[in-house]
Amino acid sequence: QFLYFIGGTTVRAVAMPSSRNVLYRCCACGAMKKRDHFHKSGNNLAHRRHEMRCTACLTRCEGCGERRPSEDVAEEADGAKMCPKCRGRRAVAKGNVFYRFPVLHYKAAPFPAETMRS
């Protein structure tokens, strides 16, 4: 126990174990691992402990770079691993030229005007 003096009163505190040494359970594989095996930004350790997945159970999407559960990321025909959001973007971009080349990002069209007129 530690004693803290706050505003003239004595407060007793129990020594808590370091959060580095606490073991967390992965919800996908069920393994007990330390905090270092969990991705910090995707898994908020304080709020979503029942949904935490270790880094071995997550796969990185090659479209957006986000770490997703392995069952969400599917492999495309060209070998790219993509999440459902990026697969939808790719499907729209195949038929829509303006989706691939947004008007606001380019001062001129990324292709010659003569080929588009003919």
With 0.75 as the threshold, say if the pTM is over it. Answer: no
Say how far apart CA 39 and CA 93 lie, in whole Å.
31
- Locate the domains of the chain by residue range: 18-105
Q: Output helix, strand, coil percentages for the chain, rounded to the nearest 5.
A: 30, 20, 50
- Give the pLDDT confidence score for residue 52 in this predicted structure: 80
For residue range 82-111, what is the model confidence (pLDDT) as tens digits?
989 988 888 888 877 766 665 555 556 666
Which residues touch 30 (CB under 8 Å, ≥6 apart)? none
Residue 74 DSSP SS3: strand
Q: At 71, is the secondary structure helix, strand, or coil?
A: coil
**CATH code given to domain 18-105:** 2.10.110
Are the CB atoms for 63 and 89 separated by under 8 Å?
yes
